[in-house]
Amino acid sequence: MAWEHPHGNGANNSFADVNTAPAGAGLLSVPGLGSFAPGAGPVIAPDGTVYLGTTEGRLIALRADGGELWAAQLPSLQGIVSSPVIGTDGSIYVVGLSLPVRDHREGSVVTVYQAWLHKFAQTGERLWDAPFPAQRNRALPYYGPRLTGAPNIWRLGAEEYAIVPVVYRSFGREYHVVAFPARGGTPVSRRVSYIPDSVTGGSDWNWWNWWEVPFDHGVEVDPIALPGLPPVAVYTLPGGGTPWIMASDRVHDTVGMTFDPAQGFYEHVRVRDANRAMLSAPSALPDSHTTVGTNSGEVVFVGPSQIVIPPVNAFGGTTDPEYAPRIFASLTLTADPSLAVVVGLDGQYALLRRNTVEYRTRLGGPSVVPAAASRTNVFVSTDNALVTFNSDVTSELRRFPWLGGGTSPPAIGPSGRVYAIASNILFIFPPPRQRPRPEGPVGGDRPPPINPG
């Protein structure tokens, strides 16, 4: 199983069906790649190739052991602030976000924000790029995307689209989802939610007081230190059919949609909660619920399932959004799909069985990214360590100390290697050792194992 999506798979479950070893001894480190935006991490192809995007606008392809294969530079002034995603044919999609520029349009001087989706071949050749659609209203002739999330892949039969969340600003905050056809061409866009400036105070950030979030022992941080827009979740229900698209707008809405290339997006489910902000990317559960982490320290359960599950207070403390530990990390499913891991901004950590908390602990450092799980381990990145738990997530096995972690999600390769970023250094931890084949007869003539007891 490959880690082809920012959170492992299209459902944002951050689980890889491979064996791993605790992260520690035998590691490789790859410095000098560039800088990585909060929330951006590696994605890994089935052949073990690792892809990363830097804020300097470089899409980098590495061998599984960290050796560079190629690097492609996006056009001038474009940076990459989210993870890439790998398409069905092995091509790579990445969003380039530009610095704002002043422009003259229709007799007005406006500040223009622009973004493009780029598609690259496995060889590093740029296949095409497409701009995000501009928006218009009666007062503003043109306004572009202010922030985007990582792309996710929607596919049905021979059709494939890369779906990207994006925020525009005019006289409020507009959250859209945009679908780009894999073959290139005109994207399809839908506005999902809108928050007027009378609510936001005219800012993307200050109505949540993001700069007052205690990232580490009460130290104030700039909102840029928090991850970008959460990617949508794309997954098919157990009964089959067209894939569902679940989007949380990082405000009050989580929306479930389906998509048709001819008709566009069609909304089926909307959960609006004025008392909580939906902070994390949606993560799909096997029972057709989708979970979202909030600013109240709670995990909420939304559709497509119509069975109501009440929110769960993950960390057992206050749920007052002003004081509660915020959850920017999407849930991670473990080898036992009924168990999920949730990581709080302040370094709290909980194990959930549906809406029941089975285990809680503190990690000793803050984190805004989801854990990565394999058959044998769970890996959590904090600002001061990469922590390895056992498969049932109740025993800490190893703690690899570092600085500057907790802002890039760990990833797991198809061979069991673990990839994690701290202080803009890529760390590669080796896979588990292969057990030697037993000597002696083979097949049906092999003697039975010795019973040590």
Instruction: Count H helices and E strands in the chain, helices first.
Output: 1, 36
Binning pLDDT at 50, 70 and 90, where does residue 225 land?
low
| pTM for this predicted structure | 0.89
Residue 140 has pLDDT above 70, yes or no: no
Residue 269 lies in a domain: yes
453 domain-assigned: no
Q: How confident is the model over 194-211, as pLDDT tens digits?
A: 887 665 444 443 333 332
443 located within any domain: no
Domain contains 127: yes
Asked whether residue 299 is assigned to any structural domain, the reply reads yes
* pLDDT value, residue 182: 97
DSSP state, 437?
P
* 307 DSSP assignment: S
Whether 299 shows a pLDDT value over 50: the answer reads: yes
SS3 of residue 211 by DSSP? helix
- Chain-wide mean pLDDT for the chain? 86
Q: What is the mean pLDDT of residues 264-291?
A: 93
pLDDT computed for residue 439 by the predictor: 46
- What is the DSSP track for 137-184? -SS-S-B-EEEEB--EEEEETTEEEEEEEEEEESSEEEEEEEEEETT-
Is 441 among the domain residues?
no
Which of 105-114, 254-263, 318-327 is predicted with the least confidence, judged by mean pLDDT? Answer: 105-114
Chain centroid offset of residue 292 CA: 12
Q: How far is CA 190 from the centre of its chain?
A: 21
pLDDT grade, residue 239 (50/70/90)? confident
Task: Give residue 146's pLDDT.
Answer: 83
Mean pLDDT of 3-26: 96
Query: 250: which 2 tokens?
Result: 């990082």
Give the model confidence (pLDDT) of 141-190 as tens digits: 567 788 899 999 999 999 999 999 999 877 778 899 999 999 999 999 99
* CA distances to 82, 199, 298, 383, 393 from 211, in Å: 21, 18, 21, 18, 32
**Measured distance CA(351)–CA(9) in Å, rounded:** 20
Q: Are 144 and 168 in contact (CB under 8 A)?
A: yes
Counted domains in the chain: 1
**Quick one: average pLDDT of 57-71?**
97
Beta-carbon-side half-sphere exposure of residue 135 (alpha carbons within 13 Å) = 24
Cross-strand bridge partners of residue 422: 425
Tell me if 379 sits within 8 A of 370, measured CB to CB.
no
CATH code, domain with 62: 2.140.10.10
What domain range includes position 162?
28-432
Is residue 375 assigned to a domain? yes
- Amino acid letter at 131? P
Using CA atoms, how far residue 114 sits from 129, 135, 161, 322, in Å, is 13, 11, 20, 33
Distance of CA 17 to the CA centre of its chain: 18
* Token pair belonging to 434: 């292969």
> Between the CA of residue 103 and those of 111, 141, 304, what are the distances in Å?
6, 11, 43
Query: 392 pLDDT band (50/70/90 cuts)?
Result: confident
| For residue 447, pLDDT beyond 90 | no
Examine residue 140 and state whether it is found in any structural domain, yes or no: yes
